[in-house]
Amino acid sequence: MAQESNELMDKLTALCKRRGFIFQSSEIYGGIGGFWDYGPLGVELKRNLKEAWWQDVVRRRDDVVGLDCSIIMNPKVWEASGHVNNFNDPMVDCKSCKARFRADKVFTVIVREQSDGGTNTLIDKGVEADDPNSALSEAIATANSDTRRRVLKSQGKLDQVVFRADRIPEGQIAKCPKCAGELTEARKFNMMFKSHAGAMEDSASIVYLRPETAQGIFCNYKNVLDTTRLRMPMGIAQIGKSFRNEINPRNYTFRSREFEQMEIEFFCHPSEADKWYEYWRDARYKWYVDLGLKSSKLHLRNHEPDELAHYARACADIEYEFPFGTSELEGVANRTDYDLTQHQKFSGKDMTYFDDQTKERYIPFVIEPSGGVDRGVLAFLCEAYTEDQAPDENGKMQTRTLMRFHPRLAPVKVAVFPLVKKEGMPEVAEKIYRDCQAAGLASFYDEKGAVGRRYRRQDEAGTPFCVTVDGQTLTDQTVTVRDRDSLNQDRIPADKVLAYVQEKLK
């Protein structure tokens, strides 16, 4: 299973490089961990995802408006938000091989078998895993079932698992997963990238690259209220870059150091927060399903009460089954009035809302659906990757690789080909292509090579429709439109191609 998943990721990353979806950043210099570039097809896919989000959560709603904040903000923002003090990953170094790990990813699970004489046998395992729950379950599963088991230990986030499972929290032994060497104590490592604003590089000029877009929204919430007619409940949405100095960037673009977020802060009366939380959690889950992530691979995981951050009243993760494991795409949280209260405290500015109808003044609660653009793109790439059997131009069955993107997300919507490069076919094909292009459809014209090979190239790019001008076109002005997934070919009038594709894209 693990091998199959690795193979799938290998094939996908190879396709992404070969076809221009994703490249390593600064590849000619050997790359740089945690940074990625999107090629011509990738940037279209990413833009389409952001566009779909913006259309659905901003333009098609009356109660949400957009915002675009600066990446670098007054450093006090990050004191108020808690990032300066709390945005830390506990980190351990191996004293022998010098490898560095996130402490909550390298832990030793100790299963203690208690004997009558009071002596203990320790079975310890060094585990590096993305999911502490699965590593823990594995340790429990392999323990002797006759003995009273206690899974002890943990560092960082594992405590949650340990307490939830009612295990005895006790000492811990951690070893390097690479060489079994001794590890240092866990040390705090702040994940915000630092820089300096202005000519002086001293402590007074320190600034941070934002680790989330949310704080820019909180800081502007009063500006937005003052400049629009919005009343509670109302939301502010933003798409933008965020930066986190992840200790261990991994799984392709999944955990990057520079990435984009699409976040909504939805402000409401405290008494309505539970209702809006459920609304956004379910709406955001459905959004991914509607865009093509199969619900069998998509999970909505409600956090247990003891998993919640101290300021959150409820939280759910929208998770996707990636080939490398099930992980979070988007989190939806009821953040209460924590953020606005913090900013009121640190800035000294009034963050209350006055309802002129009820005459009530209050600090609104905030529901936050916070998604990652790059994780979304990766999930849609994984979901789209398909191999099937299809006949080639000689009728022989061949393995075909295709990207089954939802037409709304597909980087290229329509490709137009003349069957051969003569007899006036290129001219007719080029006119159809130009008409589609002028109408704003991402379109592609190709007259080179065998038509079967041209179809295959578009299948790999995920183009949903391929239009071919052939001999019949010259007599009856019809063309074929090939559907990427079913391989069905419709014959339609050449001057109806644009309307046909537009209809299918709706």
| Residues near ligand GAP, by CB under 6 A | 212, 214, 244, 246, 255-256, 259, 261, 263, 328-331, 368, 370-372, 374-375
Structure tokens at 381: 């790439």
Distance of CA 273 to the CA centre of its chain: 25
**CB of 125 or CB of 303, closer to ligand GAP:** 303
The conformation of residue 394, written as its DSSP 8-state character, comes to: T
∠ CA 171-173-175 to the nearest 5 degrees?
A: 160
Q: How many CA atoms lie within 13 A of 271 on its CB side?
A: 2
Minimum distance from residue 335 beta carbon to ligand GAP (Å): 8
Q: Judged by CB, which is closer to ligand GAP: 330, or 446? A: 330
In this complex, which beta carbon is closest to ligand GAP, that of residue 237 or of residue 329?
A: 329
We find the least distance from the C-beta atom of residue 501 to ligand GAP, in angstroms, to be: 32
Supply 45's token pair: 């896919």
> Could you give the CA distance from residue 214 to residue 495 in angstroms, rounded to a whole number?
47
Smaller CB separation from ligand GAP, 107 or 259? 259
The alpha-helical segments, DSSP class H, found in 20-98 are 40-54, 76-81, 83-86
Residue 98 C-beta-side C-alpha neighbours within 13 Å: 0
CB of residue 247 to ligand GAP, shortest distance in Å: 10
Distance of alpha carbon 277 from the chain centroid: 20
Q: Crossing angle of helices 497-505/425-438, nearest 10°?
A: 40
Instruction: Between 370 and 473, name the residue whose CB sits nearer to ligand GAP.
Output: 370
Task: Kindly state the smallest distance separating residue 223's Cβ from ligand GAP, in Å.
Answer: 19
Which of residues 368 and 460 has its CB atom nearest to ligand GAP in the complex?
Answer: 368
Per the CB < 8 A criterion, the answer to whether 466 and 497 are in contact is: no
Q: Which residue is nearest to ligand GAP (CB)?
A: 372
CB of 282 to ligand GAP, least distance (A): 17
How many helices, marked H, and strands, marked E, lie in the chain?
Answer: 14, 26
Smallest separation (angstroms) from ligand GAP to the CB of 262 = 9
| Enclosing H/E stretch for 341 | helix 338-347
Nearer to ligand GAP, 104 or 263 (CB): 263
Residue 4 in 3-state DSSP?
A: helix
- Tell me whether residue 74 is exposed, middle or buried, using C-beta atoms within 10 angstroms of its C-beta: 0 to 12, 13 to 18, 19 or more: middle
CB of 244 to ligand GAP, least distance (A): 5
Give dist(CA 421, CA 123) in Å, integer. 71
Q: Rank residues 214 and 461 by Cβ distance to ligand GAP and give the closer one.
A: 214
Q: How far apart are CA 9 and CA 378, in angstroms?
A: 11
In the numeric block, the tokens 């209350």 are attached to 352
- 155 vs 370, beta carbon nearer ligand GAP: 370
Closest CA to 355 of 177, 230, 170: 230
Nearer Cβ to ligand GAP, position 101 or 455? 101
Distance CA 483, CA 498 (A): 15
Closest by Cα among 331, 252, 279 to 23: 252
Q: Smallest gap, in angstroms, from Cβ of residue 265 to ligand GAP?
A: 9
CB burial string 81-116: b at 16+ within 10 A, e below? bebbeebbbbbbbbeeeeeebbbbbbbbbbbbbeee
Cα dihedral sign, 114-116-118-122: negative
Name the minimum Å distance from CB 317 to ligand GAP: 7
d(CA 252, CA 415): 29
Of 49, 54, 45, the C-alpha closest to 291 is 49
CA distance 470 to 424: 10
Closer of 48 and 261 to ligand GAP (Cβ): 261
Instruction: For the CB of residue 215, give the shortest distance to ligand GAP in the complex, in Å.
Output: 8
Q: Which is nearer to ligand GAP, 193 or 500 (CB)?
A: 193
Distance of closest approach, residue 260 Cβ to ligand GAP, in angstroms: 8
Least Å distance, CB 23 to ligand GAP, is 17
Choose between 364 and 372: whose C-beta lies nearer to ligand GAP. 372
Instruction: Check residue 97 and report its DSSP letter.
Output: T
Shortest spacing between CB 263 and ligand GAP, in angstroms: 6
